[in-house]
Structure 1
Amino acid sequence: MSVARHRPLLGIALIVLMAACFASMDSTIRYLGAFLPVLLILWARYSFQALTMAIWLGLQRARGDAGAFRSAHPKFQAVRGLLLLATSAMSFYGVQYMPVAEFTAINMLTPVVVTLLAALVLHERVSRLRWALVIGGFAGALIVIRPGSGMFGWAVLFPLAGALTYASFQVLTAKLSALESPYTTHFYTGLTGMLLLSLLLALGPFPVLEPLRAATGGQLALMAFIGLLGTLGHLLLILALGLAPTGTLMPFVYVQIAVAAAIGWLFFDHVPDGYAWLGMGVLSACGAASAWLNVRRSQRPPPSAVAMDTIAD
């Protein structure tokens, strides 16, 4: 490990700030979705990332990095962008129907689902401990959801689908992430989302101009703020990985659940009940342990930022 990676406390602080960015973004999406089409908000989020990373890479290129925009695996970038776009869509629409804290907790099943996919799709050997964590993670999700209670209904499909698409993303990314710059990858992620959503908004039967004309200056500012939070969150993750090992940082990603619960209490007057807290605690413990074991099991150098997230926003 280089000297730059011997600052774990600063790395943890950046991860906590990242969690705050993502939780704040989801809560802002929940609020703004009552005034503007969610598809338009999603387009703004990806467009902001594409523009910001294009400027970033442009500056790197001006400093002599001729390959700043070059990708070694363009097909990988396209498929990865599609999977992340699908995950973000589940998040943006899901928080319109579920409290952000409960949604975030269920969506963070991703490391558990990664273990499941590794066994079923890649035929990897999974230890008894990892199988126990898979069962525990799904048990925690069931405690939060409480099937038959009527608390969330069909809306739970959003975080469950998001966990599945993001786990698929991680299985794909784990094979190639070491060959790509995380900054270049984040640019193409934003570009893929922006192009696809632009095409969908232009050709589909979705109202765009009327909601934009009716939007207040504050609402437009919040739409840009969502893009800023999403892009900043990923950049904080990249910086954190330069300061501490992935295994040290991974458990602190789950601070996002607590931050989401605090924001829900402050701005939406929602407090999870006792069963929800129990389920979120079980899910967080199993998810964090699964993520740590997944990282530890890797025989390559520590994964880059494009492979480490437990949730994509």
Structure 2
Amino acid sequence: MKPPAPGAFAGMTYAVIAMACFAVLDTTNKFLIASVPLLMVLWFRYTFQAVATTAVMWPRRGLRMFHTASFKLQMLRGLLLLICSVLGFASLQRMPVAEFSAIAMLTPLAVTFLARFVMKEHVSRWRWLFVMGGLGGALLIVRPGGSMDTSAAWLPLTMVVAYASFQTLTSYMAKTESPVTMHIYTGWVGFAIASVLVLSAWTTDLTRTQWLLMCLIGFAGTLGHYLLIVAFSKAPAANVTPFLYSSIGFATLGGWWVFGDVPDRIAMVGMLLIALCGLGAGWLTQRENQKAQRV
């Protein structure tokens, strides 16, 4: 097995920092939406991303960063990510951060379903085994009598389906579209739709701390997505993907530190099973890529 290329270590580091940013995002979200309307937080998160990303990239690219050959697909991709955000925010209102993060990491496994039934790709038995194992881990987390409200389990699971669709579309568009352009469009599409939705929940009756926390959410989300783009540009996906599961550890730490939430033993087993199946799927992808290169 070949050792990772020098740039791969930078990619892995960026991926871990990105996961830490997302843990900060989710933990702060859960804390803030207990006192601030969900749609208000959602609007600010996309406003920050759209404005900050555009401000950073404008001196380098100007209007060229909006040039795209797939305008309709950019709109669809932005809508899918907004749906993921709404479902994610709603999930965090009803469940601990660690359990939410673990279920969210089912996404790479859900992509397998789309690859088989939508993209008509061949899926090996081992890959199906990892998918089934990941779903089993999710069932251990959302089981009746566990530490979360099982009536809300459909929220994160639906989010996983939406995010898997988002990732599949991203993979398809990445062949012709710039990552920066896609990032710009997700921000502005989310901002445009959230600006309409927020009208029913708009309020300026917020404390300075609440405004600062919304800035933290915007910053963490924007930085996390940017670092993830950089990570995949520095290293092959097979090297980066295993480090995405560090998000479960960061989320568990954040949930314990801020809310005192500690997953019970069965939920911990489920989280570990999801991580192991995800890592197994990543290892299988790397092995398949190595075989393809030898042919």
Q: Normalized against structure 2, the TM-score is what?
A: 0.91
1:191 aligns with 2:185: no
Letter in 2 for 1:248: N
Which residue, out of 165, 174, 178, partners 2:175? 178
Separation in 2, partners of 1:173, 1:60:
23
Deviation digits for residues 62-83 of structure 1, max 9, x if unmatched? 5xxx622211211110000011
* Partner SS for 2:100: helix
Name 2:225's counterpart in structure 1. 234
Name 1:50's counterpart in structure 2. 50
Kindly state the Cα deviation for residue 119 of structure 1 after the two structures are TM-superposed: 1.5
Separation in 2, partners of 1:196, 1:295:
38
Kindly state the Cα deviation for residue 261 of structure 1 after the two structures are TM-superposed: 0.4
Deviation digits for residues 223-256 of structure 1, max 9, x if unmatched? 0110000000011112222332221111000100
Q: How many residues align?
A: 286
Kindly state the Cα deviation for residue 149 of structure 1 after the two structures are TM-superposed: 5.2
Separation in 1, partners of 2:47, 2:28:
17
Name 2:245's counterpart in structure 1. 254
Gap change, CA 1:291 and 1:168, over 3 Å in 2: farther
Letter in 1 for 2:15: I
1:208 aligns with 2:202: yes
Residues 233-312 of structure 1 mapped to structure 2, 5 A cutoff: 233-291=224-282, 293=284
Name 2:156's counterpart in structure 1. 159
Separation in 2, partners of 1:234, 1:52:
12
Separation in 2, partners of 1:68, 1:193:
17
Contact 2:39 2:201 in 1 (8 A): no
Separation in 2, partners of 1:54, 1:108:
29
Name 1:145's counterpart in structure 2. 142
1:73 aligns with 2:67: no
Separation in 1, partners of 2:169, 2:288:
16
Gap change, CA 1:292 and 1:48, over 3 Å in 2: farther
User: Comparing 288-297 with 123-132, which one deviates more in the overlay?
Assistant: 288-297
Residues 10-21 of structure 1 mapped to structure 2, 5 A cutoff: 10-21=10-21
Separation in 2, partners of 1:289, 1:67:
40
Separation in 2, partners of 1:233, 1:42:
16
Kindly state the Cα deviation for residue 148 of structure 1 after the two structures are TM-superposed: 6.1
Gap change, CA 1:262 and 1:72, over 3 Å in 2: same
Letter in 2 for 1:236: L
**Unpaired runs of 5+ in structure 2?**
291-295
Kindly state the Cα deviation for residue 144 of structure 1 after the two structures are TM-superposed: 1.3
Q: Normalized against structure 1, the TM-score is what?
A: 0.86
Separation in 1, partners of 2:289, 2:38:
37
Q: Greater helix share, 1 or 2?
A: 2
Contact 2:40 2:201 in 1 (8 A): no
**Unpaired runs of 5+ in structure 1?**
300-313
* Partner SS for 1:225: helix
Contact 1:115 1:290 in 2 (8 A): no
Q: Percent identity?
A: 43
Contact 1:45 1:227 in 2 (8 A): yes
Separation in 1, partners of 2:99, 2:121:
31
Separation in 1, partners of 2:209, 2:270:
36
